[in-house]
Structures are given as C-alpha cells and as structure tokens.
Amino acid sequence: MHIIDISVTLRDGLAAWPGEDYWRLDKTLRIAEGGAANVSRITMGLHCGTHVDAPWHFGLSDQTAESLPLDRFITPARVVDCTGVAQAITRADLAGRIDGTAAVLLKTANSGTLESLASFNRQFVHLDPSAATYLVESGVHTVGVDYLSVEGFFAEGAPVHRILLAARVAIIEGLDLSAVEPGDYTLVAAPLKIAGGDGAPCRAVLIGQTASGRVGL
C-alpha cells in the first residue's frame, strides 16, 4: 500500500502559534537509570503540529474533539496545488478545481517549513473569506492546510474559521504536503478522542492510487 505521511513530527524546536504551549517530552522512567521501562510524558497545546479544530474552538457550537464525525477525516481527498499563491488563497484560485470533491488539501509554499524547524512565520499563505465561502458552497466537508491556521495571522475576528466551522466543515491544520503531488487520494487523519477538546492532534496520511485509479496495495 502506498502511504504518504503528511504529518509534522512533534519535537523540540517545532514552531508554535505565539502564546500556545510548545511541545515538550519529559522522561518519567529510563531503563539506563534503573527504571523497569522507558516511560515519558508530553506537554503540548491541542493546536500544536498537525491537528484538527473543533467548532467549540471559536464557540460556534458545543461540539468538541471527542464528537467530531470520523467520516470527515477518513475520506477521499484532493490535493490542490496553490504553490503559486503569494499570500491569500481566494475564490478565484479554487474555482473549477474542486468540483465533486469531499475534502480539499491545499498545498502551498508553506509545506515543509514546519518540518524544517523554521521559526514561526507570520506571513504564511492562508485562505481568505471568499475561498472559505466557495468551499462551503461547493459542498466540501473537510479542508486541510499546510501551516498552523487556515486564517491569516493578522485577520481580525477569525472570519475564515467561522465560515468553515459554522458550516460543519472539518479543519485540519499543520500538514506537510511537500512530498505530495497534486491529485486524488484517500485521507486518514483521525483526531485523538479528547473529551472537551477545542482541537486535537492527529496523524495524517494519504493513501495513493495506482494508474488504474484504484488504491494501491
């Protein structure tokens, strides 16, 4: 089976949204120090690395991470090439490219920058409200982006999040699509089942297809 890992590695130095908890791995037990096993604990924010947003993140409903429908995260998906977009993806950038697609993953110049441990970039490529509205109108139920937010850093009032989440469109953020060719795949990106979570980490992969269009085995 041809599987492409599109998750960011959780590790020291990973860029985080300013003010968010950063990733930290601490040892609890180590065999080399006389412990019965190697055991660790982690400290992280729910929006660290590759993760999903729940509607409760912006107070649009009471739906939290544990009740997110899994069919939004295990689904056919299309990777759309937006690497030529300099700042904000608009309706015009997507028009005619996502018809009949359940999930859309947007590959931009952001891809690979999180994995490279570059410092947080406030000028990352993002969606503008016209693109978010177009995705909703097109019947897309899942949107994935390759930086830590669908929203521009300087956006006020979070309009893109609000448009998508109010329409029950699932949001996956922090993907790494740098090694992925545009096209159609099967997405598997189930969020952790965290009670009350405003978001949740996930391990996102794409299952590729053969020339015949069938899933490669």
- Is the separation of the CB atoms in 44 and 174 below 8 Å? no
- CA-to-CA distance for 43 and 23, rounded, in angstroms? 6
Burial of 80 (0-12, 13-18, 19+ CB in 10 A): buried
57 is known as an active-site residue:
yes
C-alpha triplet 52, 58, 59: angle, nearest 5°: 120
Q: Which amino acid is at 166?
A: A
Query: Which sign, positive or negative, has the C-alpha torsion 134, 76, 141, 174?
Result: negative
**Which residue in the list 47, 51, 57, 126 is annotated as catalytic?**
57
Active-site residue set? 57
